Amino acid sequence: MDSVGDVDIQRISFDSKTYDTDSVAVESPLSINVEFRGDSYSVGILMRTPGDDEELVIGFLFGEGIITEKKHVTEILIDDNCCKVKISEESFFDPLEHVRKTSVSSACGICGRDSINNLLRLQ
Protein backbone atom coordinates (compact mmCIF):
# COMPACT_ATOMS: atom_id res chain seq x y z
CA MET A 1 0.00 0.00 0.00
CA ASP A 2 1.40 3.40 -0.99
CA SER A 3 1.98 6.09 1.62
CA VAL A 4 1.32 8.93 -0.87
CA GLY A 5 -1.57 9.35 -3.30
CA ASP A 6 -2.53 11.86 -5.97
CA VAL A 7 -5.82 13.75 -5.68
CA ASP A 8 -7.57 16.24 -7.94
CA ILE A 9 -7.66 19.72 -6.45
CA GLN A 10 -8.90 23.22 -7.29
CA ARG A 11 -6.63 26.20 -6.80
CA ILE A 12 -8.66 29.34 -6.23
CA SER A 13 -7.31 32.87 -6.27
CA PHE A 14 -9.02 36.27 -6.41
CA ASP A 15 -9.50 36.17 -10.17
CA SER A 16 -9.17 32.56 -11.26
CA LYS A 17 -9.80 28.93 -10.55
CA THR A 18 -7.52 26.18 -11.90
CA TYR A 19 -7.59 22.42 -11.67
CA ASP A 20 -4.52 20.43 -10.73
CA THR A 21 -3.29 17.23 -9.11
CA ASP A 22 -1.52 17.23 -5.75
CA SER A 23 0.26 14.54 -3.73
CA VAL A 24 -1.08 13.90 -0.24
CA ALA A 25 -0.23 11.48 2.56
CA VAL A 26 -2.49 8.43 2.61
CA GLU A 27 -4.08 7.47 5.90
CA SER A 28 -5.77 4.13 6.48
CA PRO A 29 -6.80 1.99 9.46
CA LEU A 30 -4.69 -0.87 10.80
CA SER A 31 -6.44 -3.46 12.99
CA ILE A 32 -4.11 -5.05 15.55
CA ASN A 33 -4.94 -8.54 16.82
CA VAL A 34 -2.80 -10.22 19.45
CA GLU A 35 -2.52 -13.99 19.75
CA PHE A 36 -1.70 -14.97 23.31
CA ARG A 37 -1.85 -18.48 24.78
CA GLY A 38 -3.74 -19.72 21.70
CA ASP A 39 -6.50 -17.08 21.85
CA SER A 40 -6.84 -14.02 19.61
CA TYR A 41 -7.74 -10.56 20.93
CA SER A 42 -8.37 -7.25 19.18
CA VAL A 43 -6.31 -4.56 20.90
CA GLY A 44 -7.49 -1.74 18.69
CA ILE A 45 -7.41 0.04 15.38
CA LEU A 46 -4.84 2.70 14.58
CA MET A 47 -4.89 5.26 11.81
CA ARG A 48 -1.55 5.35 10.06
CA THR A 49 0.29 6.28 6.91
CA PRO A 50 1.19 2.85 5.49
CA GLY A 51 4.84 1.95 5.32
CA ASP A 52 6.51 1.04 8.59
CA ASP A 53 3.63 -0.99 10.01
CA GLU A 54 5.77 -3.58 11.80
CA GLU A 55 7.69 -0.89 13.67
CA LEU A 56 4.44 0.94 14.47
CA VAL A 57 2.85 -2.20 15.91
CA ILE A 58 5.89 -3.08 18.04
CA GLY A 59 6.00 0.51 19.34
CA PHE A 60 2.27 0.43 20.08
CA LEU A 61 2.57 -2.85 22.02
CA PHE A 62 5.51 -1.42 23.96
CA GLY A 63 3.68 1.85 24.69
CA GLU A 64 0.62 -0.05 25.91
CA GLY A 65 2.77 -2.10 28.28
CA ILE A 66 1.95 -5.37 26.50
CA ILE A 67 5.62 -6.05 25.76
CA THR A 68 8.82 -4.72 27.31
CA GLU A 69 11.23 -6.26 24.81
CA LYS A 70 11.09 -6.94 21.07
CA LYS A 71 11.74 -10.64 21.76
CA HIS A 72 8.24 -10.86 23.32
CA VAL A 73 6.90 -10.64 19.74
CA THR A 74 7.33 -14.07 18.15
CA GLU A 75 5.55 -13.40 14.83
CA ILE A 76 3.97 -10.50 12.95
CA LEU A 77 1.76 -10.99 9.88
CA ILE A 78 0.56 -7.84 8.12
CA ASP A 79 -1.96 -7.98 5.27
CA ASP A 80 -3.22 -4.60 4.04
CA ASN A 81 -5.20 -3.23 6.99
CA CYS A 82 -4.87 -6.21 9.34
CA CYS A 83 -2.00 -7.15 11.64
CA LYS A 84 -1.80 -10.41 13.57
CA VAL A 85 0.85 -10.52 16.29
CA LYS A 86 1.86 -13.58 18.28
CA ILE A 87 3.34 -12.71 21.65
CA SER A 88 5.21 -14.93 24.07
CA GLU A 89 4.22 -16.08 27.53
CA GLU A 90 6.83 -13.64 28.90
CA SER A 91 4.79 -10.65 27.72
CA PHE A 92 2.56 -8.63 30.03
CA PHE A 93 -0.69 -9.02 28.09
CA ASP A 94 -3.89 -8.88 30.12
CA PRO A 95 -7.10 -9.03 28.03
CA LEU A 96 -9.07 -7.18 30.71
CA GLU A 97 -6.63 -4.27 30.53
CA HIS A 98 -5.50 -4.21 26.91
CA VAL A 99 -8.56 -5.09 24.78
CA ARG A 100 -10.24 -1.87 23.58
CA LYS A 101 -13.92 -1.54 22.82
CA THR A 102 -14.23 2.24 23.06
CA SER A 103 -15.98 4.24 20.39
CA VAL A 104 -15.84 7.66 22.04
CA SER A 105 -12.69 9.79 21.86
CA SER A 106 -11.49 13.30 21.28
CA ALA A 107 -9.92 12.18 17.99
CA CYS A 108 -11.60 11.60 14.64
CA GLY A 109 -13.48 8.54 15.92
CA ILE A 110 -11.40 5.86 14.21
CA CYS A 111 -9.07 4.91 17.08
CA GLY A 112 -10.61 2.51 19.56
CA ARG A 113 -13.06 0.93 17.08
CA ASP A 114 -13.23 -2.85 17.22
CA SER A 115 -13.91 -3.56 13.52
CA ILE A 116 -12.49 -2.16 10.29
CA ASN A 117 -15.49 -3.56 8.37
CA ASN A 118 -17.81 -1.08 10.11
CA LEU A 119 -15.52 1.79 9.11
CA LEU A 120 -15.11 0.70 5.49
CA ARG A 121 -18.91 0.79 5.03
CA LEU A 122 -18.81 4.51 5.80
CA GLN A 123 -16.65 5.31 2.76
Marked catalytic residue, from 82, 83, 108, 111: 108
Beta strands in 1-123 (DSSP E): 4-12, 17-25, 28-36, 39-48, 73-79, 82-87
* Active-site annotation holds for 83: no
Of 36, 86, 37, whose CA–CA distance to 57 is shortest? 86
Position 28, amino acid = S
Active site residues: 108
